[in-house]
């Protein structure tokens, strides 16, 4: 796993996403290693501790263009973290 905990993942998301104040509806209820949140009121994402990013559309997960962009942002932010 690239991230050690959900807390570290949330910190990376807030650090790397533009307009982090527009991140809402965090969902930490799953016991699995991912978080779900809404960004800019229209994009809902599921991101795992391995930085797998999927856009949530209803109950369906998809690898959309915006999910690919989000993954790239997260990897760039992860590369800047102290190792």
Q: Give the span between the Cα atoms of 64 and 4, in whole angstroms.
A: 26
What is the separation of C-alpha 32 from the centre of its chain, rounded to a whole number of angstroms?
Answer: 14
Residues 31-66: tens digit of each pLDDT: 789 999 999 988 999 999 999 999 998 777 777 889
The model carries a pTM of 0.88
- Length of the chain counted residue by residue: 83
- How many Cβ atoms from other residues are within 10 Å of residue 55's Cβ? 19
Using the Cα atoms of residue 63, residue 65, residue 74 and residue 42 in order, give the sign of their dihedral: negative
Q: Which two tokens stand for residue 50?
A: 């391995």
Residues 3-33: tens digit of each pLDDT: 999 999 999 999 999 999 999 999 988 778 9
Q: Which two tokens stand for residue 57?
A: 């559309």
């Amino acid at each position: 796993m690239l991230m050690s905990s959900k807390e570290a993942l949330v910190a990376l998301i807030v650090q790397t996403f533009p307009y982090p104040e527009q991140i809402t509806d965090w969902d930490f209820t799953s016991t699995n290693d991912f978080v779900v949140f809404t960004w800019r009121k229209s994009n809902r994402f599921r991101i795992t501790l391995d930085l797998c990013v999927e856009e949530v559309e209803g109950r369906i997960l998809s690898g959309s263009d915006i999910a690919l962009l989000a993954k790239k942002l997260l990897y760039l932010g992860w590369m800047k973290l102290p190792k």
